[in-house]
Chain A
């Protein structure tokens, strides 16, 4: 009851808006859906996605998950492309902060709740931290089959032959698998999952992770999860093993040659995880 009265008091501070924007029933329903998702790793659970004050496709699923979970004691970190200062991250952080008043942080080791688009931090997370990923395409089979009615049946029958064939045909045509990000992975050896447009570099971070990873697709109205200590294995072949991206050079700022780096034309390669790069660079 103490917690509830805190929430009500906070809601009163923001005239006209509930704590964490969404009404309590919506958040509870979303947490129920999330629990189901955790219970069936990788399985897409439908939820009644709400309109948010962000454009559809700009992180409304992730933000609904974050808002359904965030409590007064949390420290929230929001990144886009690994960058806390990226414009969309600034906007999402402002929404969370304005409607909850909770503390926000850029420090990966301090955050209890991390909402992210396209990356999983390169730094070690705080024990118990939850990672919320924004999902444009919850359906990994969308690459090979446009219909949702058909892909649901394929999942029910564990029929992933079309995806295997697609990868095989890539090799036959191009000599390599052409998939770049959004690399399809088997979860717990049973369900095929889209890990969101994280680079292939980040896929290994999902495997046997200590952390709960939640995936929210607002436009597509789906939530799914990888619970801690779950197998996440990218699809590959014995003679064509899974490959991660190769950066052109070490980070020009911190010198890291293990982080995920992106190119800045005319300047070289830089860590995409800015908080990680900051901790390694002289101020």
Chain B
């Protein structure tokens, strides 16, 4: 009788869970952590927790279900207190990779770093026959570099950054609309990579106004500073690897057009998501907004309320929960209306 049986439900649930239990243990977790750093980064970014070992455990426990792994890590996050807000200045990031699509060359140069972007993407069937290689230790940056955006700011083509007040935290206060910029950026930074990519793609392809230019994409370690709780003095507490993207597009006006900026920054290595975030931020800020049609992608509620992977996966999958009460109510109306239409 499946889950309808009143008696035996608990035993059935336990049996089902044991069938779906993880088989991976220490070796699997170590292999994920060492050889699949990109999935580990994706999980951490969407969970809003940076702890690679826990992300590798979550992925193994979820048997490779990415959404489930993010969900496990998010749940774990609920058990942690928020100690302090760290301050960062992204100018202090030491890039191990840094490219600009806006100019052929930029001060400091194009630094390709680790990327497969410019190689042929041929499946390598031999890979399955080779021994694991020892991963290289993460390449350190070679010092800070000037921001490409500053070149455009110097000419007055891009507005200077506005002073940031205290940032909202949507994990402590509900996301409300209209959202502040900090809430928008936080929602996007935690967004599901696939959703963000699809939204950004739909915008670029035609259901939106914006085809920006990627002024700069950076990958590197970002120093974090917090104020000492007793002395109040700033203390450097560590670094966070991030991917940062800055995109610009026309913001024409009769009075003097400028360039509008979209900003993306995600923990770890997540170039696709960082670029998508920059595109979506720019669209929501109204850059290039002269399309003679409206698109849901210009509506911050549509975008921000649906980018969260944990919420989306949870609610779509809740369709599997019992619904016999509400379905009976549905059937009551269907039968009544049918009778009414057909006559007695």
Chain A interfacial positions (CB closer than 8 Å to B): 53-55, 81, 83, 87-88, 90-91, 94-95, 98, 137, 139, 142-146, 162, 165-166, 169-170, 173-176, 178, 180, 262-267, 270, 272
Contact = CB atoms under 8 A, between A and B. Distances in A.
Given A262-B103, A265-B106, A143 B118 contact: no
A76 B90 CA distance: 43
17 contacts: A53-B120, A54-B121, A81-B104, A87-B117, A90-B118, A142-B205, A143-B291, A144-B293, A145-B293, A146-B207, A146-B295, A169-B290, A169-B292, A173-B254, A264-B103, A264-B104, A264-B105
A91 B104 contact: no
A267 B117 CA distance: 27
B291 A144 contact: yes
B314 interface: no
Nearest to B204: A136
Main secondary structure of the interface of A (DSSP, over half): mixed
Interface in B120-146: 120-122
Nearest to A180: B250
B311 to A, nearest CB: 27
Given A162-B292, A175-B254, A53 B121 contact: yes
List of 6 A-B pairs having minimum Cβ-Cβ separation, nearest first: A142-B206, A87-B118, A146-B206, A53-B120, A174-B252, A265-B151
B156 interface: no
Contact of A95 (B120, B253, B257): B120
Nearest to A175: B254
Interface in B144-202: 148, 151
B81 interface: no
Contact of A263 (B103, B117, B120, B290): B103
B254 A174 contact: yes
B250 A178 contact: yes
Contacts of B205: 137, 142
B232 interface: no
Given A95-B120, A137-B206, 13 more contacts: A55-B121, A88-B118, A98-B120, A137-B205, A144-B292, A166-B292, A173-B254, A174-B253, A174-B254, A175-B254, A178-B257, A267-B105, A270-B104
Nearest to A274: B104
B8 interface: no
B250 A173 contact: no
B292 A178 contact: no
Contacts of B112: 87
Instruction: Indicate the member of A54, A270, A272 with the most B CB atoms within 10 Å.
Output: A54
A223 B250 CA distance: 29
A137 B290 CA distance: 18
Contact of A170 (B106, B148, B207, B290): B290
Contacts of A265: 103, 105-107, 148, 151
